[in-house]
Amino acid sequence: MRNQWIYYYTGVVTVKISGQGLERFINNLTRSGIKIWDLKKHGKETLTFKISLAEIKRLRPIVRKSGCKIEFLRRTGFPFFFKRILKNSGFFVGALIFAAVVFVLSNMVWGIEINGADPETEHKIRQELDKIGVQTGKLQFFLEDPEGIQRAITDNLEEITWVGVELQGTTYHLQVVEKTIPEQPEKLGPQNLVATKKAVIVDMFVEEGQPVVEINDYVKPGQLLVSGSIGKEGKTKSVSAKGEVFGETWYKSEVSVSLKTNFDVFTGNEKRKHYLKFGSFSLPIWGFGKNSFKAFETEKEEKTFRFLKWELPISYVEKTHRESEKVMRTYSNDEAVEVAKEMARQDIKNDIPEDATIKGENVLRQTTQNGKVYLLIHFQVIENIAKSYPIIQGVSE
């Protein structure tokens, strides 16, 4: 009989039937439709078999009609196991409560250690941890994973360059790298200011030194802008030239934009499934049913259970299936040109200093080929082109 193990949930009884009416008993049993298995004959007047506990009431009248005797040899299955547990309920309940308490305590946060931060920064980190619920006494299952904690801290605290978060047992360990405060610049020796690139001078702010160029002058890389030698002939002295010299510089950017682009977007529909994972076997506990999404992306979060200092081969898994669909984005030629220009501007902004500004732009070449718009754009940028260059004593400028 297949799937006999199913009957162990409802209880299985091993039965012994003896008497001279065995043949009549078997015929009556067959007509009644009662299912038995593991039927064995022991001599001419005895046989044994297994039967579901639920069928015992129907079995007794058949035994009486057949003139046989019935004896129950063995009782197995969940109902009998549960009955035995109830007899020792005090011990079992106590052991169960103890194991449950230890299990819960093993999966709580009992310590948060922060290394590498000064007291003020450490206080701010603990405040940020409180905001996201990472506190002693909280269950780990309901907290962000270490990567999420790391993102929350680095995004909200400017004082931190990097933080590493690691969960070891019941303790979170945070290793912090703070932003270094720039040291005061050393007192510089005599120096000039020279040009870093080709430019047309548009403005100057000289704190120290003698300007040697004027507004609208064209300069080349290395050309002297502000001299560190000041004073009249015969009464000159060398100083550390300081200041900013702003010039108009030039950049080119070549970009392309497809007129038609396919990409995936989320529809907002999602389905969550929850599992208990035992080794490589996953047991669904919530979110049953098949995923009906034709296209989707899956996000998996897994949290391992602990017992005391040991990590159990049991974990809680949450899978989120997010429905996606393909969308075609279509640009007209004019729209593609505007998108390409914005892309080019972003490229230039990534290449120039933060304090530089884009003064103007000019499209040098525009072509459409193979479903793409190609642009070559010339940019005019205003930026500080001055850099310091030491004055070597004894060498004339």
Q: 316-326: per-residue pLDDT in tens?
A: 888 888 989 88
For the chain, residues with pLDDT lower than 50 are 395-397
State the amino acid at position 319 in one-letter form: K
Q: How far is residue 223's CA from residue 209's CA, in Å, rounded to a whole number?
A: 15
Under a CB-based contact definition with an 8 Å cutoff, are residues 50 and 15 in contact?
A: yes
Strand, coil or helix: what is 97? helix
Parallel/antiparallel/unpaired status of strands 218-219 and 224-227? unpaired
- Per the confidence metrics, is the pTM higher than 0.75? no
Overall CATH class of domain 4-81:
alpha beta
Query: What value, to the nearest 5°, has the Cα angle with vertex 337 and ends 340 and 373?
Result: 80
| pLDDT on residue 396 | 46
Q: 218-269: per-residue pLDDT in tens?
A: 999 999 999 888 877 767 788 888 999 999 999 999 999 999 988 888 888 8
| pLDDT on residue 54 | 85
| pLDDT on residue 5 | 66
Closest CA to 262 of 323, 329, 325: 329
Under a CB-based contact definition with an 8 Å cutoff, are residues 361 and 379 in contact?
A: yes
Could you state, in order of their start, the residue ranges of all structural domains in the chain? 4-81, 111-178, 184-259+331-397, 264-325
State the amino acid at position 314 in one-letter form: I
Q: How far is residue 201's CA from residue 190's CA, in Å, rounded to a whole number?
A: 24
Question: For 111-178, which CATH superfamily applies?
Answer: membrane protein fhac (3.10.20.310)
Under a CB-based contact definition with an 8 Å cutoff, are residues 336 and 373 in contact?
A: yes
Residue 16 in tokens: 């012994």
